Each structure stands twice: as C-alpha cells, then as structure tokens.
Structure 1
Amino acid sequence: MTVDRLPPVAPEVTATLVEDLSPRLRKRLDAAVTKLGARPTHRDGDTVTIAVDDESELRLHAPGGVVATVDAVTCGCLLAPACVHRAAAACAAPTADPAPEPADRPSRAAPEPASATDPGSASSPEVASPAQRAAADALWSAGAAVLEAGVDGAGAVTRSTLLRAAHTARLRHLPRAAGAALSVVTLLRAARAGDPSYRTADLVTALAELLGTAHRVGTASGAELAAVRGAARRPYSPDGSLRLYGLFTEPVVTDSGHGGVRTWVAGSDGRLCTVGDVAPGGVGRALGVADRAVRLGDSALTHRELGRAGLAVSGATVSPDGRLGAGKGVKAVTARGAAWTEPPLAALWETPPAEQAARALRSASRYAAPDGGGSDLLFLDVELLGAVRESGGTCLLARCEGGMCVRLTVADDDPALAHRDNLTLLAAAPGARLRIIGRLVPALHPRLTLLACSHPTGEGTIDLGLDRLRRADLPDPAAPVHLAPLQPEGSGAHSPLYLLERRVEQTVPAGRAALGMLGDVTAETRRMRRAGLPTAAGLLTALCTSAAQRDRDLFGRLLPADTDGFATYWLAAARYTADVAESLCAAAWQPTQAR
C-alpha cells in the first residue's frame, strides 16, 4: 500500500482517533502504521478498503475525496471501534487541505472583533484574543516537541498533537499558523516514510514558519497581526473586463496527494494571473487535467491551449494572489494570444534580472505574508552553457544579462513529469539562446527552477513539466550532454554562515539531544567572528549550550529539558540564517561589473 492510494483525511479526524486510543495502544501506533502500510488496498468509488488480515477489513469512506468524519473510518476486527487500526490508517493517509471557499461567495477580509463572552470568536484588529493566544501557545508547544524529538522520535502521536493544535488554530481564525503546522506534519510523514522528494531544508523552513508565526501571535498588533493571522478564504473582488494572454502551464503536485495544473496568463498591463485546477489525485491527475477545458466562462480552451492563446473576460473576479474566479457572472471567450517577443508579454523580459530577483526575494521570504501573483517568477534571456554536477544532482548552467551565470534546476523530480528529461536534453545544446521563465530559489548564487522556455528551434514555447523535447528539436541532435566548467562564485558562496546553518538543520533529524553531544564549538565560532559574523557566533554558542543543558534535582535526578528555551534559540538561529542568506542571494544577483 502507498500513501497515494489512501484518500486525504481531515486533521481533526486523525487527531480524534489517536486521542481516543488507550496509552497502551498509543505505544503500538507507529508499528501499526508500518504494518498496515504493507497490506493490500482496494478502491471502489469513494471507499478505500484495506485488508487488515485474512478475516478483517478496514474502510475509509471519502465522499468528495476527503475523509471528513470519524465515523467514515470503520474496522471489522473484534476490538473495533477501540482498535488501533482506524488511527493507524488515518496516520498513514495524507492530511487533507482545508476546503476552499467558492470563488463567488462573499467573505470578510478579517474576522470581527471578539466579544467578552465568546472565547472562541476572532480577535479585534488590534490584539489577539485570549483564545487565539492559547491556540498559538499550543502550536508552539507542539512545534517545540518536534524539535526535542527530531524526525526519528516524532511518531504518529506527536503528529496527531500537531494536527489537533492546527485544527484548533483554524477554529480560532489563525489559518497561517494552522497551515504551517499541516506542512510540518506532511514533511514529517514523508521523512519517516523515506520519500525521495523529502528535503531536510523544507522541514527546517516549515518548523521556523510554525514557531515564528505562533510566537508573533501574542506580540503582534494592527496590520502586523493581520499578516500573522493570515486569511482562511480567498476573497475574490470584481475586476471588470480583462484581456489576457497565455504564458505557460505548470503541473502542480502537492505533498498532501493533490494534483492538477496552473496556467499563467498576463493582462494588457503586464499583471500576472492564474487559472488553476487542483484536486486530490497526485501526478496522474496533473497530467490528465492539462488537456481538460479551463473552468472559466464559456471558453473551450484546454489548459495547454490557454498557455499559448488568449482570453477576453468580462465580469472577472480576482483574488489577492492573482487567481481568477470562475463564478456564474464570469464570461470568457477565446481570443488571439501573443508571442513572448510581442507586446504586452515582451515587457516581462525587459526588467533587469537584479530587480526581478529582489522582487522575488520579498515574495519568497520565509517569514513574510505570502502575496502570490507570480512575484516569485523571473523572466530571463539566457545562453545555455551546459550541465554542472552538484552534490544534489545535475543542473543546467546558463549565462544571462551582464555575464551573470544562473543555475537552472528541475521544478519536480517525479519521473512521470517531463522536467528532468527536458533539462537533460537542453544540456546537450550549449550555445543555444532561449527566453526562459523560472522560479527563484534562494541560494548563495543565482538559481532558478526552470518552468518554461522558448523552443530551441525558435518556433513556439515549451511547458517543461508537460511537453517533452526530442533530440530532433536540438540544433545538433547528435550532440552529447555538455559539461560546463565551474564558474567563479561571489564571496557570499564561501561564507562561514553554513557553520550555523548545518547545526540548525542537524537538530531536525535527530532532535535536541544530538546537538547537545557536539561538544566544543569554539573553533567554529572563532571562524565566524573573523568573517564578520559575531551574531552568528553568539547564536551558535547559545544554541549548543541550550541543547546540552540538563539540570538535576536535589537527589541527582534529571529534570525535564527546557524545550521552550531551546526552541527559542533554534528559531532565532533559523531566522538569522534565513535573513543573511537572503541578503547574500540578493547580492549574488547584482550585475557582475557592479560587484
């Protein structure tokens, strides 16, 4: 059985099933999850059946694709419903995303002020309510417990505590913190399952977002509190008539088992918008939806076709992150598109790369409120140089304006998608000049995930996740993959900041205890001070000291570890390294002659 074959389960359902277990069964829960994962499954409509043993079956009923109630998980064993199988199945399944609000449904931008008699209502715009602070404290404690245990110790019970805290936070109108908690749960599950797509850096980012947001709920006020609180709904506002030009279509595959596509379009003024179709289904659904008609008015265009055509829309509604609504009042008809070299699309490539990177960094900041709208996309004219081998695989090196070298990587390594194969073929075409669209990857050197490019023959464009290049499309079809020489990097690439970054990352897999056994870090702190990073040196010392500190009582017995204190030092170190890395990334994108 694989996770992809199980329907997503609502967070509160998993939390309730785990909480209802006896202490004895909770100790057996992780083993039960592993054992259940080896059993065969069968899907019949909205119901997935798992053969627990030769005589018993477990069923997950998912109307609409999501297991939304505790009663939807049933088991036929003799101990049911008090058995461990129901909770194990919920823990093995993906966590369901919150249900989206209808595009044409009115919504409030912020919750109404809390009343003195209703502790569960939303806070006033000025300060968080006591109920919100309590929910944030629960999220902080759950996140600190993950840091204490590490991935190896964060089993199903720890994850269910996070799910319960996330559900409570959503009820208290803290959707941003709740979403961060769900991301942590998803990444923990992927790490423990050995998912090849899992990256420790992703879990570091999610944990820092969770702890940082939970901490700021109690201290923020006014506009800052609104950003920390986030928005549960996507309020669509009327935008009149729009003339849209297709740019490209990208497949979307989420960790929660959802799949689909997102088609990017640009208005006459250069503003970017998206038309999406994402639902439970994984990569298979992403490939199939690309050839379905877009859900926008009466248009018969598929997503692939819209990425190269145009639309005339009347009664348009647009969310703050640039998503086009598909309400009943929206009318859309097919119109002529524009080439990337024609107005208005050509203007997207006229902004200098440094300015585009600065804009993308503001959007991709780990601790800023996401604004979407394509602000993390870069539009560059490049000359391909060839492949470059890295510790994480092979990427494509290209030269853009001002002689700057940019590393281009795949957006998704799933073999069902075309990203990796297309990148390999492009590496066999050194010297080719392409117009590309990529998404910024914050790094100490210019780096993008490659999403779309002009065709090597100069005719049309390629959606690199969906369309597949052929050898015949290259200028020299017989040319082998060309390895580009390593290019000199800026001074930031050799910054000793990594000495603190690796300690922040080491905490996540093995927990606080592993960091506490490192011993003396004087040599590392001395090196950072010499490089002009005294704050980093101080944070490393404080982090390792907090990890190793264990007090004893009068009888010599170890007292409980100070998980809150350690989490505070870890969060400070994670935020510091992120901020410095973003500054170094912005400097790396400056023109060569200006550095």
Structure 2
Amino acid sequence: VRPGGLARARGAGAVSVALGGGVLDHAGLARGGLRIAGATVSADGRLGAGRGVRATPVPGVSWDQEPLAALFARPAAEAVAELLAQDAEPGLLGCAVRVEGAAGDHLLVRELSPDGTVRADAPLLRLRPAHPHPELAHTANLRRLAGRPGLALRVVGRPDPDRAATLRPLAVGPVPGAAYTLRLPPEWRDRADLGYDRLQGGHVTGEAPAPAPDPVGPGPDPLADSPLWRVGRLLEAG
C-alpha cells in the first residue's frame, strides 16, 4: 500500500508484486494467487519479505469453487440485508443477473433464478460504478453492458449502504450454460475486472433475445421494502 493519486491507482494493475521469489502483477494476483511460506505478518496485515520467505504462484479459484461459490449461494436481497445489518463495511456478494438497460450511469438488471430465468416479480437492481473517474473503466464498462439487453452476467460487488437495491460491482463474468452471456479471453479466467479491463463487443457470445414487451420500470425494491433496511435508515437519519 502506497500513498498516491489516481495516476498511481490507474497503473496499479500492472505493478509487480515480488515476494519470496514469486513475481506477479496485481492483475495476475487478483485472478491467481501465491502460496506463501515463512512470511511474517505485521499488525496492519503487511507481509514481510525476508530471506526465509518462499512464494509460489498458484492458479486462481473459479467462482464455482469455494470459498467464492458461497458468494452466489443466496438471493441478492437476502445477502444484502444480512450484510447491511453488520456494523462493519459491507462485504462482497455475488449474483447472476440479466441486463435490462440503463438509467444515467447506472446499469439496470434483474436477478436470475437458479434455472436461468427471471421471475415475473423479480426486483430491479441498480449497478452503480464503483469509482466514477473516467480514467478508470468502471463507468465505460457499465455503459457497454447496458447496450446489451438480455445479456446474462455474474456479478461480484458490494451493496451500497446509502442506496436501496444498489450494488457497486467490481467484476463480472459469464453465466454457465447461458445462451447470451460473456466470452472472455482465457487469460482473464472468466472474470473481468471492471476497473482495469475494458469490455469489447467481441467479449459477448450468443444472440440477444427478443425485447421484453414491457419497458423497464421501477419494480419492487427488495431492500427498501425490507423492515430491517427501513429501520436502519430511519435511525441513521435521526
């Protein structure tokens, strides 16, 4: 961790991490990992890189394997309600969704059922850029996805504690078995980092389904309709 502005953050993905003979850039480390032996850990969580440290690059875990599979194990509304009930910063959650369209710089989606369909009463969710600065790819990637109604995605992100039914996505990937979904380069390992990777038209496979007969509407809000969420917001507002 080093202090710095946006220029440093923009180039962080290509900066090498050298530890115990293992060298990866941050982008590779996000998709893979290092098996580390003999390292010391400081009080603030930093790893020491002394002579006795050994580090070996290892393949990353797919979103279908634990512990990442647990992020997708429950409906988004249920997972978000639990995360917002915690005192700490909301953690990560995952969900499979279908793209509906855009509202400003927000991507509108509906959650997919386990069978890959969308329930008639499925609530509308908003995916908001995790960071709005144009030098990072978050906003551009969401805009590109918004132009693909019907596209099936898996999303990993954090709930926005100040906005109901809103997630800040960090990465997206294909939905296994979906006819219209993402097809990412092999080196991306089935996940696109929305801040650093830039999605292109060639990253989509399949044909778009016929447009839905009804326009995108506000729909039920799984968080604002939650008594726990409403009470929490009332207490915060005084």
Cα distance in 2 between the residues matched to 1:406 and 1:319: 40
Give 1:424 shift. Answer: 0.5
Q: How does 1:10-25 map to 2 (within 5 A)?
A: none
Which AA in structure 1 matches 2:191? T
In structure 2, the CA distance between the partners of 1:294 and 1:477, relative to structure 1 (3 Å rule), is farther
Task: Say yes or no: does 1:286 pair with 2:12.
Answer: no
Task: Say yes or no: does 1:451 pair with 2:166.
Answer: no
**Of 134, 157, 169, the match for 1:438:** 157
Select the structure with the greater relative contact order (CA < 8 A; seq sep ≥ 6): 2
In structure 2, the CA distance between the partners of 1:318 and 1:489, relative to structure 1 (3 Å rule), is farther
Which AA in structure 2 matches 1:421? A
Partner of 1:464: 194
Give 1:475 shift. Answer: 4.1
Task: Say yes or no: does 1:421 pair with 2:132.
Answer: no
Give 1:396 shift. Answer: 0.8
Cα distance in 2 between the residues matched to 1:382 and 1:320: 39
Partner of 1:111: none
Scaled by the length of structure 1, what TM-score is found? Answer: 0.31
Cα deviations by residue, 1:258-303 (Å, 9 ceiling, x for unpaired)? xxxxxxxxxxxxxxxxxxx3322x1111122211112543321111
Partner of 2:218: 487
Partner of 1:377: 92
Cα distance in 1 between the residues matched to 2:57 and 2:33: 6
Partner of 1:559: none
In structure 2, the CA distance between the partners of 1:361 and 1:493, relative to structure 1 (3 Å rule), is closer
Aligned-pair identity (%) = 34
Whether the aligned pair in 1 keeps the contact of 2:152 and 2:182 (CA below 8 Å) is no
In structure 2, the CA distance between the partners of 1:331 and 1:472, relative to structure 1 (3 Å rule), is same
Cα distance in 1 between the residues matched to 2:199 and 2:67: 27
Larger radius of gyration: 1
- Any idea what SS the aligned residue of 1:278 has? coil
Specify which structure has the higher proportion of strand. 2
Q: How does 1:570-585 map to 2 (within 5 A)?
A: 577-579=234-236
Cα distance in 1 between the residues matched to 2:53 and 2:82: 31
Give 1:440 shift. Answer: 1.0
In structure 2, the CA distance between the partners of 1:351 and 1:316, relative to structure 1 (3 Å rule), is farther
Cα distance in 1 between the residues matched to 2:61 and 2:35: 13
Cα distance in 2 between the residues matched to 1:308 and 1:425: 23
Give 1:578 shift. Answer: 5.0
Cα distance in 1 between the residues matched to 2:26 and 2:204: 26
Cα distance in 2 between the residues matched to 1:444 and 1:416: 24
Whether the aligned pair in 1 keeps the contact of 2:159 and 2:168 (CA below 8 Å) is yes
Which AA in structure 2 matches 1:398? V
Root-mean-square deviation over aligned CA pairs: 3.5
Partner of 1:386: 101
Give 1:317 shift. Answer: 5.4
Cα distance in 2 between the residues matched to 1:427 and 1:396: 6
Whether the aligned pair in 2 keeps the contact of 1:411 and 1:449 (CA below 8 Å) is yes
Give 1:415 shift. Answer: 0.9
In structure 2, the CA distance between the partners of 1:289 and 1:430, relative to structure 1 (3 Å rule), is same
In structure 2, the CA distance between the partners of 1:304 and 1:351, relative to structure 1 (3 Å rule), is same
Which AA in structure 1 matches 2:146? A
Give 1:339 shift. Answer: 2.0
Cα distance in 1 between the residues matched to 2:19 and 2:67: 22
Give 1:468 shift. Answer: 0.6
- Any idea what SS the aligned residue of 1:290 has? helix
Number of aligned residue pairs: 210
Whether the aligned pair in 2 keeps the contact of 1:408 and 1:450 (CA below 8 Å) is yes
Whether the aligned pair in 1 keeps the contact of 2:76 and 2:93 (CA below 8 Å) is yes
Which AA in structure 2 matches 1:486? G
Q: How does 1:149-164 map to 2 (within 5 A)?
A: none
Gaps spanning 5+ residues in structure 1: where? 1-276, 495-532, 534-574, 582-595
Q: How does 1:182-261 map to 2 (within 5 A)?
A: none
Cα distance in 2 between the residues matched to 1:330 and 1:311: 12
Specify which structure has the higher proportion of helix. 1
Cα distance in 2 between the residues matched to 1:428 and 1:319: 46
- Any idea what SS the aligned residue of 2:131 has? coil
Partner of 1:302: 25
- Any idea what SS the aligned residue of 2:150 has? coil
